């Protein structure tokens, strides 16, 4: 499975001129990513000024535009931006996306803090499950695995466990490819996992994930340069590279429906 984290909450058009912002641009971006081999679209949205927002109607417009253009699994962020309130981050879930991210602990995020105390995590988890949304546990640091484990232990919910290791956020777990051996050894039986490396760590983490049988994530939220000194021209360009690497390493690309089967989405 290839996830595209196409937008994020931090990047601006000044940083990356090809960042899709309007719902029409997002739909066109999603269609190109699907064509390139993506199966999951990790969705953040922006307001008319290009600033990150958790506005429900903006999520609805983007989600519907992606669904009209593609069969991709749309995965909403519940992380938003570090400045978003708990209620704002929760609000778009009412649209019942197939999946949503769930970070299971607090982490430094550059000079800021991405705040996820356990009561918030528990509340987000219960809301997702009550709406039949599959959480993807976002693991920015190894201790967050214990946070995800605690949810499973404290909850009667039985669902497929899918994890995403996000390595290389300043303040989180560095982009050490060999960290994946340690992290994946701690996963519960039957779990699936994705990995991504932020910025300069992107390709080394991607290659390690592919060689270990993991799934991968790419896109402007994680990486803006295609190579040193050259910005990527589109999310699809990043997907094409990962798809090429995957095929060369003997992996088969999952279609969105194959990903739904792997993730036990109904
Ligand atoms: N923008 C970060 C503060 C997620 O999407 O769930 C959080 C984030 C994680 O991007
Ligand atoms: Zn995100």
Query: What pLDDT digit, counting tens, does each position of 116-141 carry?
Result: 999 999 999 999 999 999 999 999 99
Helices (H), ranges, the chain:
23-36, 56-69, 86-90, 118-130, 143-154, 179-185, 202-211, 235-248, 256-262
Query: Atom 4, ligand 1: which residue's CA is nearest?
Result: 79
Query: Atom 1, ligand 1: which residue's CA is nearest?
Result: 81
148-172: b (≥16 Cβ within 10 Å) or e: bbbbeeeeeeebebbbbbbbbbeeb
Is 22 in contact with 65 (CB distance < 8 Å)? no
Ligand 2 centroid – CA 82 distance (Å): 11
Is 207 in contact with 181 (CB distance < 8 Å)? no
Which phi and psi (to 5°) does residue 237 adopt? -60, -40
Sorting pLDDT into bands at 50, 70 and 90, what band is 41?
Answer: very high
Is 136 in contact with 75 (CB distance < 8 Å)? yes
Long-range contacts, stretch 184-189, CB < 8 angstroms, 24+ apart:
184/212, 184/214, 186/142, 186/145, 187/145, 187/161, 187/163, 188/149, 188/152, 188/161
CA atoms within 13 A on the CB side of 170: 5
User: Where does ligand 1 bind, in terms of residues with CB under 6 Å?
Assistant: 8-9, 77-79, 81-82, 101, 103, 109, 114, 138
Mean pLDDT to the nearest integer, 39-56: 98
How many angstroms separate the CA atoms of 84 and 89, rounded? 6
Ligand 1 pocket mutation, candidates 80, 136, 163, criterion most atoms within 8 A of CB: 80
92-103: b (≥16 Cβ within 10 Å) or e: bbebebbbbbbb
Ligand 1 centroid – CA 71 distance (Å): 23
Q: Is residue 218 pLDDT above 80, yes or no?
A: yes
Mean pLDDT to the nearest integer, 241-264: 98
> How does strand 215-218 pair with strand 225-227?
unpaired
16-39: b (≥16 Cβ within 10 Å) or e: bebbbbbbebbbbbbbbbbebbbb
Q: Is residue 58 pLDDT above 80, yes or no?
A: yes
Q: Is residue 263 pLDDT above 80, yes or no?
A: yes
Closest atom, ligand 1, to C-alpha of 10: 1
Query: Atom 6, ligand 1: which residue's CA is nearest?
Result: 79
Say which residues have a Cβ less than 8 Å from residue 266's Cβ, sequence separation at least 6. Answer: 132
Q: Is residue 79 pLDDT above 80, yes or no?
A: yes
How many angstroms separate the CA atoms of 41 and 74, rounded? 5
Closest atom, ligand 1, to C-alpha of 52: 1
Ligand 1 pocket mutation, candidates 59, 93, 103, 169, criterion most atoms within 8 A of CB: 103
pLDDT of residue 157: 76
The helix/strand/coil state of 172 is: strand
pLDDT of residue 156: 79
pLDDT of residue 166: 98
pLDDT of residue 155: 79
pLDDT of residue 154: 81
Mean pLDDT to the nearest integer, 222-234: 97
Closest atom, ligand 1, to C-alpha of 166: 9
pLDDT of residue 153: 82
How do residues 144-197 score in pLDDT, each as one tens digit? 999 999 998 887 778 999 999 999 999 999 999 999 999 999 999 999 999 999
Q: Looking at the DSSP assignment, which residues form a beta bridge with residue 75?
A: 42, 99
pLDDT of residue 158: 86
Query: Atom 10, ligand 1: which residue's CA is nearest?
Result: 79
Structure tokens of 177? 């490819």
Q: Is residue 84 pLDDT above 80, yes or no?
A: yes
How high is the mean pLDDT of the chain? 97
Residue by residue, what is the 3-state secondary structure of 140-162? CCCHHHHHHHHHHHHCCCCCCCE
How do residues 13-31 score in pLDDT, each as one tens digit? 999 999 999 999 999 999 9
Q: What is the pTM of this model?
A: 0.98
């Amino acid at each position: 499975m290839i996830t595209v984290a196409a937008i994020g909450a931090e990047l601006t058009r000044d940083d990356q001129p090809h960042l899709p912002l309007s719902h029409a641009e997002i739909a066109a971006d999603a269609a190109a990513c699907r064509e390139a081999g993506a199966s999951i679209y990790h969705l953040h949205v922006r307001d008319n000024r290009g600033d990150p927002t958790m506005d429900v109607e903006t999520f609805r417009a983007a989600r519907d535009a992606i669904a009209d253009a593609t069969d991709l699994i749309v995965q909403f962020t519940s992380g938003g931006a570090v400045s978003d309130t708990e209620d704002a981050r929760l609000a778009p879930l009412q649209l019942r996306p197939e999946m949503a991210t769930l970070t299971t602990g607090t982490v430094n995020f550059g000079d800021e803090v991405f705040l996820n105390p356990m009561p918030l995590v528990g509340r987000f988890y219960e809301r997702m499950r009550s709406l039949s949304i599959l959480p993807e546990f976002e693991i920015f640091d190894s201790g967050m695995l214990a946070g995800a484990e605690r949810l499973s232990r404290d909850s009667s919910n039985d669902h497929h466990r899918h994890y995403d290791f996000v390595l290389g956020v300043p303040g989180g777990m560095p982009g050490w490819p060999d960290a994946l051996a340690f992290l994946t050894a701690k996963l519960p039986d039957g779990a699936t996992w994705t990995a991504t490396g932020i910025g300069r760590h992107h390709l080394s983490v991607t290659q390690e994930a592919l060689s270990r049988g993991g799934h991968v994530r790419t896109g402007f939220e994680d990486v803006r340069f295609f190579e040193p000194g050259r910005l990527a021209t589109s999310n699809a360009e990043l997907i094409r590279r990962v798809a090429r690497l995957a095929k060369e390493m003997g992996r088969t690309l999952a279609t969105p429906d194959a990903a739904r089967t792997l993730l036990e989405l109904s």
